[in-house]
Amino acid sequence: MAARPFHLAWFLQGSSIQAWGAPWTGNISEDWMYPSLFIDLVKSMERACFDYILIEDSIYIGQNWKDSREIFLKNGMCTPRQEPSVVATLMAAHTKHLGIVPTLSTFAYHPYLTARIVGTLDQISAGRGGWNMVTGSSDLSAQNFGMPRLPNHDDRYVMAEEYVQICKGLWGSWEPGAIVADRKSGVLIDHEKVHTIDFEGDYYSSRGPLNSGPLPQGQPVIAQAGGSKSGKAFAARHADTVVAAPKGVAAMKAYRDDVRAERVAAGLDPDTVKILYLLSPVVGETETEARDKAERRRETAAANLDLRLARLGWSTNIDFSDCDLDAPVGSFTTNGHQSSLNQFLKGSEGKTLREAIIDHSSSGYTVDVVGTPESCAAQMEEIMDEVGGDGFLLELGDLSRRSVASIIDGLVPELQQRGLTRKAYSHAHLRDNLLEF
């Protein structure tokens, strides 16, 4: 039986300094402002026929460790970070087929501005633009925009419903064929095919139409990380591709089944949403080398517990600095990134905080894939066979040109040889490539 192909994408941990302090990372202190690493990355990804790159983002400097920014600044943790929509245009200029998906938060950008930014990205990339929609996870980011705190988690998704309706309405405010460009009649745009949307909601309003014109894709691709109950339901209604991180193959399958069922309940075709699972594979020339790399990852986590807990606190809005490392993990709640906290707590049962954070920080996100290119490809094939689809969103904590090569020139050719990932792009637009299989 022929192998069922799956999708590959890349999760970039922000347009920021990558793998600070790690070997093989070049002259970070000199060239971090110009993202030459990211340009090389997207060129390599395109050579390997990835579907898209997702540019994760945050718009604050962490202060969730001893109520101080020191550990975050000293270690370059998620800072400095550049505006992802600007970096996305640079990536688009250096590629021809790869989808470009920057993160834009619903609380930081008015929906008209988001629609205009993402619409323009789709135009200049000739139909390869997307938007990773997030609602925010930190009060620190809200305070940068003059708000005392973020709305409650579930309320953010109620607001996001209006937000997405406006964006979709604005992208559709130009009918197909609105640009006539008829020199004889002297008409560039048929004014009867450009419409206001006149949206009035409880949280947002917009008159429209979008002044930046129609989009090659009509509607750009929307990505969303639906981890919580509200987020999962929202993703099922609106996302074209979902960022997922449930732990273990059984949980991955259950997650996919849930989203697809929600999709059907919303009156949509479940095959039109592609769920990609976060994965950080460890690839070596030999099994021994790969296992050694994985063990070094674990040793690094064990030797830097403060950093690992601060990083978890950064996304969950929790300060773990006063917690007893050798006591069982306690009960925590958050108005921040709930899925991150839930995944940590789920994997912490019966463990001390020390044990839990080491396991959490050294894992491969959803599953651990460790080995040679051949064995990693076999593991990924088996996982997808059990889960049912739709692919993997790769992330490397030690991102460098060297580590990228282990994926692009090591793992991917083996996947392609097995018929698991594409060897060429069949379509010009990102959405069409996602819907190909």
Q: What is the 3-state secondary structure (H, E, C) of 180-193?
A: EEECCCCEEECHHH
Question: 76 in helix, strand or coil?
Answer: coil
Q: How many CA atoms lie within 13 A of 168 on its CB side?
A: 13
Residue 228 assigned as binding residue = yes
Residue 109 assigned as binding residue = no
Residue 7 assigned as binding residue = no
Q: In degrees rounded to 5, what are phi and psi of residue 314? A: -60, -40
For residues 114 and 234, give the distance between their C-alpha atoms in angstroms, rounded to a whole number. Answer: 18
Residue 153 assigned as binding residue = yes
For residues 150 and 143, give the distance between their C-alpha atoms in angstroms, rounded to a whole number. Answer: 8
What letter represents residue 29's amino acid? S
Contact present, 187 and 302 (Cβ < 8 Å): no
Residue 173 assigned as binding residue = no
For residues 284 and 411, give the distance between their C-alpha atoms in angstroms, rounded to a whole number. Answer: 10
Residues β-bridged to residue 52: 9, 99
Contact present, 367 and 335 (Cβ < 8 Å): no
For residues 330 and 343, give the distance between their C-alpha atoms in angstroms, rounded to a whole number. Answer: 14
Contact present, 389 and 51 (Cβ < 8 Å): no
Residues annotated within a binding site for FMN: 57, 103, 153, 157, 228
As annotated, the binding site includes 57, 103, 153, 157, 228
